[in-house]
Structure 1
Amino acid sequence: MSKIERNNRFVLLRYLSGMLLSRVLICAAALVGLLEILALLEQTTPILQRHLGISGILTYAGMRLPFLLSSTLPLSVLIGSLLTLTQMTLSSEMAILQASGLSMIGLYKNLIPAVLIIGVLGIALDDQITPRSEQALTAWWNRTNPHPEDGHFFWFRGKDTLTRVSYVADGGNALQGIDIYSRTPQGLLQYVTHAKNADYTHVTGWTLRHITRVEVKATTAVTLPEQPEQTWDIPLLPKDFIRLSVSNPPLSSGTILGMLRGRLPSDASPGYLQGGLLERFLRPMTLLVLLLITMPVIHIPPRTGIRSWTPVWCLASGLLFVILQGLLRAMGNAGLLPPPVATIPGLIIFTLGAMTALLRNETK
């Protein structure tokens, strides 16, 4: 390959990937903006009731942004790819590229870098940025809540304990209504400890207050003397209790691995954690499948133009893929399917289906 051919290929790669990347980012901005407006319509009244003002509204919107951006990436890639390829087809750019010798596979290869960039961005959002922003948002929301007692209780398990907390206050620095069930190595109940509340300081860590304890023996239960306070030896920080107080919060890979290995308390099943980890790192593959699903629009007949139903079918197929992946993921979370089965088959099925549609159009 000569230097001129390499330069031409680089120019084409930069042009196609840049065009796709810009369209996807525009779609993502539009979708995120719409979701932000809908979220603020619901939360503006509670924010103003807490006397947080405009700064509270902006804080909420800013902390919610990473989660919304991560959630809209698949749809953004689907819509952005459709817009890009349909525009190029209707403006005869695709016909010119095909006449110059660019195959369908060559076109797909030139669009892959943009999708991979978006996929890596999605992994970074899911793994690092979104868990931190959602945790900060939950802590801020809890800290500014004038009635934290309205919060719901939650459970979590440790190595030899099962703990129930009535609610969290002061951004995770205060707990109310703690019940700790301690077990023997054989799994039998040994102690039941109840503390009215607990508070955290950086110097002493967690301190349980107003403690009552019951020791469970073979045939009897003995109530031990009440203690005014006691140090609680638990490797959890206020941010961890904020995370535990939320149903299905975004988790980083380090947190998921710590839960699976038993180093961190967890309220989720191993299947849920394994499925989330697998889905996260398959995000680039998911986006590549969505791109492949939109490829048939390059075969829109010139005479048909915008009257063609091909973009509609491609959009419907992409939405069906997203819905199916979500359904399989939900079944995996419920323990009905193992994590690999809840994540990978949808990718394979829609890849084969999209390739079949493309090859059929190529042979016409």
Structure 2
Amino acid sequence: MQLDFFPSRTLTLYLAKMFVVRILAVLVMLVLVLMALDLLSATGEILTPEGNGQAEIIQYAGLRIPQLISRFLPYSVLLATLITLVTLNQNSEVVAMKAAGLSAHQVLAPLLLTSALVAVISFAFNERVVTRANATLKAWEAADYGPIPKASGTRSNVYLTDGENILTAATLSGDGEAITLSDVTWYSRAPGGIIREQINAQGAIYAAPGWKLTDPVRFDVGSAETQELPELVVGETLTPEQIDLQSVDPDAQSFWELSETIDAFEAAGRRTTEMRAKWWHRISGPLSALLMPLLGSVAAFGLARSGQLFVRAVIGMALGFAYFVVDNAALAMGSFGGYPPFLAAWAPFFLFLLLGETVLVRTEE
């Protein structure tokens, strides 16, 4: 029996190449199908603004494809694992490798190495491409697929509280006292959260103090009357610094930017549970690709002629998809404080790592 973790160089390259080709094939198939379904539902909204056409549809696809790749790359690794291992099993190549003295871990070693490289590439891709696509697409959606404000630092779906009152904005651009809000709504509420009046405005700028609304229109809930106002200043306790903190979108920030944002929130005494859980998940998420060969390995072993190969493949698929379900549930629990952030991001990874190792050792080693 060989004592090296990896089999021969030739066999390692053969398995790695086979695995990479199947990962890319499955990923392309998933992205194309999901992108087509997404366009069916989104094309009508994209073409609604005057002047939008084929170029805007292509632009939307260009922003959505990185998101789809990031989300479904681990699924692609899982499905590629099952396809690769089932093919090797059916062709009796696994039997030949084990007859040559390779252990189950040595058979899986090239796939694990490839998955580790995929995880590194996925992390870099998320940081350099996906975060920017998230920021641009959210700002574009907030502008109803019309022109995006040209100012720097554009963010979307801003939600701010001023005591009982609420200030929302479709987009925020600029920083400091040069912040500009667009498509603004101010909700004046009585104690207990009952809305007394709603004021809609095209935009708002900092008035030092407060925020001056552009062309405000007031709707009085009690009398159900609408009134146009010449000008109005609201949210006098809301400072640009508070808005900078409250309008942060973790999905649009890189790993290092999010780390700085968390430090700023903690210095201001603000809650950081959700952002810290997402910060940890920036690492554990891409690393989930490393688990897929281990969870799908049950499909590699056992004689193909025994008639249980399909059952083994289903078990491998079930283990892989169970990980994604548990991972999403744990991240959701961590976002609202049910789990500590570190536990929410890493517990599913280590749980299924141990589970996969246990199944592999008990059945094959």
TM-score range, shorter chain: 0.7 to 0.9
Per-residue deviation, 1:322: 0.8
CA-to-aligned-CA distance 1:271-301 (integer Å, 9 cap, x gap) = 1111111111123532222220111112232
Which one-letter code corresponds to 1:195 in the other structure?
Answer: K
Query: Which residue matches 2:8?
Result: 9
Per-residue deviation, 1:85: 0.6
CA-to-aligned-CA distance 1:205-258 (integer Å, 9 cap, x gap) = xxxx96647989xxxxxxxxxxxxxxx96699xxx89x9487x63431132112
Query: Which residue matches 1:252?
Result: 254
Q: Aligned partners of 1:134, 1:195: CA distance in 2, in Å?
A: 29
Q: Aligned partners of 1:214, 1:98: CA distance in 2, in Å?
A: 71
Which one-letter code corresponds to 1:349 in the other structure?
Answer: L
Structure 2 length as normaliser, TM-score? Answer: 0.73
Query: Which residue matches 1:41?
Result: 40
User: Retained in 2: the 8 A contact 1:63–1:137?
Assistant: yes
Query: Which residue matches 2:159?
Result: 155
May I ask how many residue pairs the two structures share in their alignment? 311
The SS at the match of 2:338 is: coil
Q: Aligned partners of 1:155, 1:144: CA distance in 2, in Å?
A: 18
User: Retained in 1: the 8 A contact 2:167–2:185?
Assistant: yes
User: Retained in 1: the 8 A contact 2:284–2:349?
Assistant: no
Q: Aligned partners of 2:234, 2:87: CA distance in 1, in Å?
A: 71
Root mean square deviation of aligned Cα: 3.9
Which one-letter code corresponds to 1:319 in the other structure?
Answer: F
Unaligned stretches of 5+ residues in structure 1: 180-190, 199-208, 217-231
Q: Aligned partners of 1:122, 1:306: CA distance in 2, in Å?
A: 34
The SS at the match of 1:349 is: helix
Structure 1 range deviating more: 71-80 or 7-16: 7-16
Which residue, out of 171, 182, 186, partners 1:175? 182
| 1:327 is the counterpart of 2:329 | yes
The SS at the match of 2:339 is: coil
Which one-letter code corresponds to 1:89 in the other structure?
Answer: N
Q: Aligned partners of 1:282, 1:250: CA distance in 2, in Å?
A: 18
Per-residue deviation, 1:166: 3.2
The SS at the match of 2:304 is: coil
Counterparts of 1:36-115 in structure 2 under 5 Å? 36-50=35-49, 51-115=51-115
User: Retained in 1: the 8 A contact 2:297–2:360?
Assistant: yes
Query: Which residue matches 1:293?
Result: 295
User: Retained in 2: the 8 A contact 1:329–1:343?
Assistant: yes
Per-residue deviation, 1:41: 0.8
Structure 1 length as normaliser, TM-score? Answer: 0.73
Q: Aligned partners of 1:313, 1:139: CA distance in 2, in Å?
A: 42
% same residue? 23
Query: Which residue matches 2:351?
Result: 349
The SS at the match of 1:320 is: helix
| 1:303 is the counterpart of 2:302 | no
User: Retained in 1: the 8 A contact 2:85–2:297?
Assistant: yes
Counterparts of 1:207-222 in structure 2 under 5 Å? 212=233
User: Retained in 1: the 8 A contact 2:86–2:309?
Assistant: no
Counterparts of 1:261-272 in structure 2 under 5 Å? 261-262=263-264, 269-272=271-274
The SS at the match of 1:249 is: helix
Which one-letter code corresponds to 1:41 in the other structure?
Answer: L
Structure 1 range deviating more: 13-22 or 301-310: 301-310
| 1:195 is the counterpart of 2:212 | yes
| 1:361 is the counterpart of 2:342 | no
1:142–1:101 Cα change, 3 Å: same
CA-to-aligned-CA distance 1:76-112 (integer Å, 9 cap, x gap) = 1110000001100111111111112221111222222
CA-to-aligned-CA distance 1:56-78 (integer Å, 9 cap, x gap) = 11110011111110000111111
Unaligned stretches of 5+ residues in structure 2: 149-155, 187-207, 216-229
User: Retained in 2: the 8 A contact 1:177–1:195?
Assistant: no
CA-to-aligned-CA distance 1:294-317 (integer Å, 9 cap, x gap) = 111122323135753010011011
